[in-house]
Structure 1
Amino acid sequence: MMGTIAEYPVESAAVSRTGSPAVTLATAVCRFEDLLGATAADRLLEDAYAAQLEHMAAERGRAAQMPERWESPERVLRAPALAEAVRSLSAVVQDMLGVAAPSGRMGYQFVMRNHQPAEGRESGPTFRACVDPKGGENGRAVSFVYTLHRRPREFTGGGLRIFDTTVRDGHPACADSFRDIRPDHDTLTFFPASAWHRFQWVSCPSGRLMDSHFSFEGWLA
C-alpha cells in the first residue's frame, strides 16, 4: 500500500470582489494507491456489482433502464475490508490533513456513475460533505473517495475535482483554483470535509453497468 500527500502553500496574489487582496488556502489531499491489492479490490468490485444488480432489480424491476447515477447506503452494501483500511489510516490522515475527527464515527455509500454528458453538463454539482442538504453543519471532518473500475477502463471522465478555499464577504468560499484527482482503480483519496468538490461526468460508450465508474464515498467525524 503506497500513500502520497500533496500540500500547497497559502497564496495571496488573488484580488477579492471588494478590491482588497484575497487569501487562498490550498486544500491538502492524501492519496493511497493500490490500497487493497489487485485480488481484494477485484473481489470488492464484483461483490459491489452483484449487490447493485440485486438491489436495482428489487427497486426498479429487471427490465428497468439503468440510471445515470445510482447510490447505495452502507446498510445495503457493506465493505468491511475497505472500512478496516480506512480506520487503520485514520490517525495518520488526520495528522497529514490537519483535521481532527475525534468521535471515531465513519460512514459511506456506494455510487455508480454511467452517463453521457449533455452540453453544459460536464460535471456534477459542487458541494461540501460537512454541510447537509438543508445547509446545516453535520460534524463531518474528513471526506474520502475510494474508486473502482474494470481494467482496462471503459469510460472517460469521473475525475474528482477538489477546490481550494478563499474568503468572500468575511466567510470561507470556493476558490477558482483546484486539483483534479484521477479515478484510478483501488485508489483511496482523503481530503477535508469542509472542501468544496465535485465529480466530472462519466462517458461510457458501451453503456454496460460493469463498465461504469464505481466509488465508495464516505466520511470521518
Structure 2
Amino acid sequence: MTGSKLIHVQRGNEIYAAGEEAAALYKVCSGAVILFMILEDGRRQIIDLAGPGDLLHFDLDGELDHFAEALTETELAVFDGASALGDPDFLPFFLEQTRARLAMDRRHITMLGRKTAQERLADFLECVSECLGSAPGEIDLPMTRQQIADYLGLTLETVSRIFARWVREGRLVQVAPGQYELPGYGLNRVGAAIKVSALLAA
C-alpha cells in the first residue's frame, strides 16, 4: 500500500489496544496475530485470528474496540487509513478483506452456536491451517490451549482432553512444539483433499 511502513513485533507483544484512535491500518506480512476483547469481569474473549495478507481491523476513524497481540514474531505493514482511500489499489483489497472477514465471522458463530466441543476444535484447526498457510497434512498452531479455549468458548480442560484423545487415537501427531501432522491426510475417491475437520471430528 502507498505510504506504508514495516514494523516487527515480538511474540506476545501488544500491537494496539482498545480505546486507541483508529487512524492506522495494519496488514500482516508474516507471522500471526490474535484479536481479543476484555469482558467486564476481566475474562478475555478471542474474536479472530489473522495471518499473512490479512488486515487486522477495518476502522478508519473513531476508537478501536479490541486488542491485537502478536502470536509469533510478526512483520506488519502499517499505513494511514485516510490516505489509503486515495489509493486505487486499496478499495478492491479492502472489500475482499471485508468479505473474507464476514465469512470467518459466520463460521465462528456457527462453530459456537451449533457444534459440539469436538466439532468446534476440529473446525478451528482447519481454520488455522487455512489462515496460516500450513503445508497439506500439517497444522502450525502458535496458540496456547488456553487461547484456543477462549476462542471456542470451551474450558481448558475440555480442549486438553480432546487433544489428548486425538493423539492417543493416532489422528494427530505432535512433531514439535506448536506443530502437528495428520497421519490420515490424503485424497478422497474423487481426488479432493480430505478436510482437516473431517479427519478429526468423525
**Alignment TM-score, normalising by the size of structure 2:** 0.28
Higher RCO structure, 1 or 2 (CA under 8 Å, sep 6+): 1
Q: Which has the higher helix share?
A: 2
